[in-house]
Amino acid sequence: MYIIDKFNKKFYLYLLKELSYILLLSLAILTFILVMSRLGKLADLVINKGVDLKDIVLLIVYSSPPYLTFTFPMAFLLSTIVVLGRFSTENEILALKASGVNLKCLFVPVGFVGIIITLVGLLNTNTLLPTSSNRFRDTLLNVVKKGIAVDDKEGVFNDTIPGVVIYIDKVDVKSKRLHGIMVADDRDKNLKQTISASSGIISLDPDTLDLSFILHNGSLHRWEKIEDTYRTVSFRDYTFTMNLGSMLPNAGIRKKTLEMDRSELRNAMSKTADPERQYELLLEIHKKISVPLASLCFLPLAIPLGIKRKVEGKFSGVVYSLVLFVFYYILMALTEKMGKIFHIPPLLVAFSPNIVIGLFSIYLLRNLNDEGQTTASQRIRHFVVHYLEKAK
């Protein structure tokens, strides 16, 4: 018993080390691939708007938690299948069987990693994601403010806002009051207007990102191309407003339901009378638990798929993990759609993909210790054919 216990500990540590390497690598690669969708707009802020690289790095870091919600279970599934597949290819699984070791012992180290990933995922969806969303919003506002920077440049034509040129003659540093203001607005191809004023101030609404020019003693010159009409208006007080949403990366400034914490979701539910909106908010509350738990649902599925793919090639593990996770994502979308149509309780809708994956895992766990040459794909095909015949 002492020898067996010592062997188990060494094997568990060996398997944990291999899993950790692949898990961290796959997590980094998968998250980077998803974050790349924002890099184009962020790079434009660095190159064309002169935003500090530090702010861009912070934006990338703060935008990662929404993607980590899905890459945590996906990386766990991928790393488990790849590592166990390598063990099977190098006959280490066969050596375990020859030594009389029950392959169900693999659930101990792999389950340990799965529990850690699940706990980290729950922490991410319920705490880290809402916090990072607020930090992302604050950093984004600072980036936009630095990008426009119209209230600290004297005697310079500022064209950082697309389609708008701003000129300020003098700036009172203490009161932030501007003197000698000119704004040329060419955003609308059918409307050209130029505004000039002797003085004014600029304010930015952090919620709507509306940039407002509160101007005094000036004139407005407008040319309407379609009607070929030129208008001139003199004013004593005039407010000119433009929205800076076009300067933001693809993610908007307002919070999505995914980025809210549970208290914010419940608060939003109490403020809306729309049943469909209430359903979506309640479903999101349950998904903050069900999606991280997907790692535990993939656990009994990944082990048989890993050890049964000896003859299928080195890259079959990557294919299996991607196909399974796409299948899980399709199940999520399908059950959400059906839940809204047939008014299925949100709790059942949120956990339905996990239940389906769990039932499928139980089937693949049959004959785990058998030394058969059937591949995982053949077992999946047999499962589909068998139950389709029963359905007929």
pLDDT along the chain (392 residues), means of 10: 60 91 93 79 62 80 91 93 87 81 87 95 94 84 65 73 85 84 88 93 77 91 88 92 67 72 93 92 95 92 77 65 88 94 94 91 70 54 56 49
Q: So what's the pLDDT on residue 285? A: 95
Q: So what's the pLDDT on residue 2? A: 45
Q: So what's the pLDDT on residue 3? A: 44
- Which residues is 170 bridged to in the sheet? 179
- Residue 152 has what DSSP assignment? S
Token pair recorded at residue 229: 């009409």
SS3 per-residue string spanning 252-314: CCCCCHHHCCHHHHHHHHHHCCCHHHHHHHHHHHHHHHHCCCHHHHHHHHHHHHHHCCCCCCC
- Tell me the CB-side half-sphere exposure of residue 12, using CA atoms within 13 A: 15
Q: So what's the pLDDT on residue 147? A: 60
With 0-12 / 13-18 / 19 or more C-beta atoms within 10 angstroms meaning exposed / middle / buried, residue 85 is: buried
Q: What sign for the dihedral angle of Cα 66, 69, 72, 78?
A: negative
